[in-house]
Amino acid sequence: MTENQFLRQIARQLLAGQLKAAADPHRPRWHLAAPVGLLNDPNGFIEHDGRYHLFYQWNPLGCAHANKGWGHVTSTDLLHWQHEPVALLPTEAYESHGCYSGSAVSDEQGRLTLVYTGNVKYPDGSRTAYQCLARDDGQGGFEKLGPVLDLPQGYSGHVRDPKVWHDGRQWLMVLGARTLDDKGEVLLYRGDRLDAWTLVGPIAGSGRGGLGDFGYMWECPDLFPLGDRHLLISCPQGIAPQGEYYRNLYQCGWLAGSFDGEHFAHGDFHELDRGFEFYAPQTTLDSQGRRLLFGWLGLPEENEMSQPTIPYGWIHQMSCPRELFWQDEWLCQRPVAELAALKGELTSFEGVVSEFPGIAIDSAWLDLTLTGAGSLWLGTVAELIWQPGRILLRRQNWLSGEWEERSAPWLGGRITVLCDCSSLECFVDDGRQTLSARYFPGEKPQLSAGDAGEGGKICLNHWPLAACLVQ
């Protein structure tokens, strides 16, 4: 399909679908979602020339994982976002099956430049991938510069998701990869220019750094300094559940250690989010010195195509923007401070759970101090349960109707829950653990008393959150 043909199809979908999508009671009020079609990985998250730019994987022609290009929004405050012209569409031979995930940088001349994976699939079932460049054309779009990196020897066609940065001396890139013998790795490249790269080698992955057998593919790597250490965030695929750990189909987690420009020495792998849906996060360092993160509140291949938003012509959303920080040698997350501007009038309650009268949570910020053991219903299809040392988030599976749960350790500290019309983000112990989930409670869900446990008491602060839609 040519670019003009693609754009005509997108215009038709937008004209026909935006009002339908807006009528969905599960449409988020303040989280980012695509106007129509499928959204998945956050891409190219960067602050550039005084504006935050967030790109995202987008199929504007439907809710399937096809026709992947890059949507584009910008903001000055991480709250009020503006649609920009579509950044990338898969119109060239080297990206025939999708402009896959990647990152954005300011190049040597200060121009916004995208680095992404061009995905190609062949009729015999094989595939290849190219790492490609596109540069701001000064007119709101991006000029494609084509591939700058082919597949490295010894790796399958699954090499993707370049995260690029400049360390003050040279450009560096990490790539997710799958070896020919099905081992997931993170590859490191370096170069003096964005169009000339040299492979340094694998810096993490299955069978490396003491991890043992640890998945057949590592997607969406992101390597960066935070405080006096380096962090590698990545999404390993192919890890079996281990008790209360690794319960999702694919994992998302972090490794902390030291990076010398060539080698990454790290400790254990830790899950970044203990909930149901959180994947493919990407970070940036902003002008305030904060390490900020967006994640995709979705998960590939796990009941996603049965979500009840699909009849309304859209699927998936981003997480709230989060800030990463260390607390007692542990990676923590918190909602960015700017989100407080959406808070409305405060309502408080303190007492035993059984006496809690209930309150609206279609769009709300909840701060909870909990004691004893107890539970709270989030609508009728999700439940937050606390027990000494443990937090559980239960929900009713929208496909099977069965109840399922995820859990996290709890030190007894405050729990913040951010609610939107079809999402929950729980920050446990002020962000030491997070549990994120999509859920579909219908219109006007209420937070109400549950009956799990004994002696449960709550101290609740509740603020409604104002709508903050993309313009």
Q: What distance in Å separates the CA atoms of residue 451 and residue 449, rounded to the nearest whole number?
A: 7
Q: Choose, from 41, 136, 362, 429, the residue flagged as catalytic.
A: 41
Antiparallel, parallel or unpaired: β 314-315 and 37-48: parallel
Phi, psi of 300 (to 5 degrees): -60, 140
State how far the Cα of 347 lies from the Cα of 141, in Å rounded to an integer: 45
Active-site annotation holds for 41? yes
Residue with tokens 């408080």: 348
Residues in the chain: 471
Q: What is the longest distance spanned by two Cα atoms in the chain? A: 65
DSSP characters for 125-188? S-EEEEEEEEEE-SSSSEEEEEEEE-PPTTEEEEEEEEEEEE-SSSEEEEEEEEETTS-EEEEE
> 35 near 83, Cβ under 8 Å?
yes
Structure tokens at 358: 């209930």
Residue 454 in tokens: 């004994």
Q: With 0-12 CB in 10 A as exposed, 13-18 as middle and 19+ as buried, what is 31?
A: buried
How far apart CA 41 and CA 128 sit, in angstroms, is: 20
Q: In what order do the strands lie in the sheet with 330-335?
A: 279-285, 291-296, 322-327, 330-335
Query: Among candidates 163, 301, 299, which has minimal Cα distance to 233?
Result: 163
Give the residue numbers marked as catalytic.
Answer: 41
